[in-house]
Each structure stands twice: as C-alpha cells, then as structure tokens.
Chains A and B, each alone.
Chain A
Amino acid sequence: MNGADARAEKRFTPMAAWFTAEWPWYVAGPLIGAFVPALLITGNKLFGVSSNLRHLCSAIVPGRVEFLRYDWKKAGLWNLVFLAGILIGGFLALHSGAARDVAISSAAKESLAKLGIHDFHGVAPRELFAWRALATLRGFVSIVVGGFLVGFGTAYAGGCTSGHAISGLANFELPSLIAVAGFFAGGLAATYFILPILLGGR
C-alpha cells in the first residue's frame, strides 16, 4: 500500500466506523434525548414506548377489562406508528452495518463467561435468544418470563425507560424518580441473584 492509499484509508475509516462501530455515549445519549422535544414540537406528544403495549392489548383483546376499554386509535395511533418505525429502524441498522462482536469491557466479558456466555456476537447471546432456546429453562425465563415482567411492570408503573427515565426525569417528576429507582433495584436483583442461578456457569 503506497502513502496515498494509506492516507485515503485513514480518511475513510471514521466514516465507515459510523455505520459499523457503536456510537460513543455522548453522541447516542443526546440523540435519544432529542426525541422528547421532537415529539412535543410535532404534535404535543409525550415520548414513551410502553403505552403501546396497552394500546395493542386494547386493540386486540380488550375483553371486559375496564383499563383496556378506551379509544386506542385516538389515544395511541400516533405511538403505534412510532413503534412500527422502531422495528423498521432496527432492521435498517442491522442491514446497514456488519454484525460483529460487542465491544463490552473485559471485566464484563469475564463476568458473563462465569455465567457460561462465551459468544459475544451481535446484540444478544445466541445460546439464550433463539427459538430452540425457548424449550430450555434459561431460554424460557429470559424470553417469556422476562417479557411478561416487562409488560406487567411497565403497565403497573405507567412507563418504562423512555416514559419515566427520560421523559419523566426530564420534567423533574417524583413518581418517575421512584420508578427509575425501582428499575435499578429490580435489574440489580435479577443480575446478582437470579441470573447466576439461572445461567449457572455452564
């Protein structure tokens, strides 16, 4: 490789990295936060993803449950459209950059290795998040039990990481601070007490 090629390569690497490597936190964080003013300015809408779970339940099987009997189209069509966008955005991100090993710290890799996770490729360990894993206890708990708790917990708390941690805290709301403290209490409990038993270090 001659000097000019090397220089060209050097110049193009950062651009390519924008699509392949993870974005630095100080780029990703402010961009995520910017969705709060973007939605408020567009249509006076409050950024929060988990209300979509309620809208979907209301649209699919409201039954005779009072909490699910409301005009979900009027209240949440905008948010369901936003949600469909999230799925498409994930798809575009996957197909615009090569999947690779996640660059987590070596300490994190060591901790996960103790839990029997050795494959750091992509966004989730394939040992746990695959269809065939559903038939195993650890796969079932990670996917089905975990998903249930996400749905139940966010509905009970009235918000998730977007609605409480970002929108709520940005508006200095005490209920959101309590909820976020709960998010971390639950997350730490699962990380230190449940996952070591569940994954067991095979």
Chain B
Amino acid sequence: MTTAYRESKTAVENAGGPVFLATYLLLGIAFGYVLTRSEAVSWFRIQEMFHFQSFRMYGIIGSAIATAALSVALIKRASLKSVSGEKIEIPRKKLGSGIRYAAGGTIFGLGWALTGACPGALFALVGDGVPVMIAAVASALAGTWVYAWLRPRLPH
C-alpha cells in the first residue's frame, strides 16, 4: 500500500521533499560562495560602487541581469516545466501607486550603503568571518517586523 501511495504522488507534491530541499541547500551554498568570491558582499566594493570609482559592481549587476533576462525569455518561449512538474511562471508585481517601491527602495538603499550589505550579503558575511553581522541580521528582522506592524498605516 505504501509503495502504491508513493508512486501515486506527483512531482508537485514532492517539490517540498528532501531531494528538493537538498537542491536548494546546495544552490544556496553555491550562491554564498559566488557572492563572496565576487566581492559583492564587500563593504569596500559597495563604497567604491556608490562613489562611481570602478565599473566592477555595475558590470556584475548588469551581466547578472542580462543572464537572468535571457534565461527567463528562453524559459518562457519554450514554456518549460520545472523539475517539480509545474509550468514555470513568474507572477508580475502589482504597481499600485508605486510609493512602496520608491520609498521602500530608498530606505533599503540607505541601509545598503551603511551596512555595505544587501540581505544575501548580511547572511554570507556571518559565515565570512564578520560575526557582528548577526547583530545586523537581528536588526534587519526587527526592521521587517516593524514594517509588518505599520503596514496598514503606510502608503503603498
């Protein structure tokens, strides 16, 4: 009976299973490694970028977007299914008044320059030998919590 049950499980139902989770873990490890080797986690590189003193970070971000855009276009054209068996779809973000993107983006930008780290980098840096970034992560969680609490009163 158990075998029959297992066989009848679709790939979609298995998508949260251990094999998939292991894949996400490996992808995360690769991402943390690449982020560190690229020095996109470096406070110094972020400062250099905001001072327009090197093309490097712009080259990284630009070529990352180009690679992702090309892949997304190809995936859409081929109407690919994921390994988990779903049709690949990227839900479009709602524009609304646009205030949340302008205001939220600017607030994040202030934090990005002050910490020298985007959210991915905050976590990579904890592993990277800057343990005090645990305090920055805790504070980022507090920031997200306060946003969640104020959300009904904020313009979106």
Contacts and interface: CB of A to CB of B under 8 A. Distances in A.
Contacts of B87: 44
Interface residues of A, number: 128
Contact of B37 (A22, A124, A148, A156): A22
Interface residues of B, number: 117
B4 interface: no
Interface of A: 22-23, 25-47, 49-50, 52-54, 56-57, 60-61, 63, 65-68, 74, 77-79, 81-94, 97, 99, 102, 104-105, 107-108, 111-112, 120, 122-125, 128-131, 133-134, 141-162, 164-176, 178-191, 194-195
Contacts of B88: 40-41, 44
B132 A133 contact: yes
B124 A89 contact: yes
A85 B31 contact: yes
A39 B75 CA distance: 12
Given A150-B143, A152-B111, A152-B143, 18 more contacts: A30-B64, A33-B65, A56-B141, A82-B24, A85-B28, A87-B126, A89-B31, A90-B126, A124-B130, A142-B115, A144-B139, A145-B114, A146-B113, A149-B108, A151-B140, A152-B107, A182-B101, A190-B110
Contacts of A108: 44, 47-48, 51, 53-54
Nearest to B32: A89
Contact of B143 (A28, A147, A183): A147
A170 B72 CA distance: 7
Contact of A29 (B60, B84, B106, B108): B60
Given A89-B127, A157-B101, A30 B67 contact: yes
B54 to A, nearest CB: 5
A170 to B, nearest CB: 4
A150 B112 contact: yes
Contacts of A38: 27
A107 B50 CA distance: 12
B104 A182 contact: yes
A146 B136 contact: yes
A185 B59 contact: no
A161 B35 CA distance: 12
Contact of A157 (B35, B105, B141): B105
A112 to B, nearest CB: 6
Contacts of A89: 28-36, 124, 127
Nearest to A183: B109
Nearest to A82: B28
A26 B2 CA distance: 50
Nearest to B112: A187
A34 B67 contact: yes
Contacts of B94: 175
A150 B130 contact: no
A181 B24 CA distance: 30
A41 B90 CA distance: 12
Most chain A beta carbons < 10 A, residue from B65, B72, B148: B148
Nearest to B51: A111
Nearest to B91: A46
Nearest to A58: B148
A54 B141 CA distance: 8
B5 interface: no
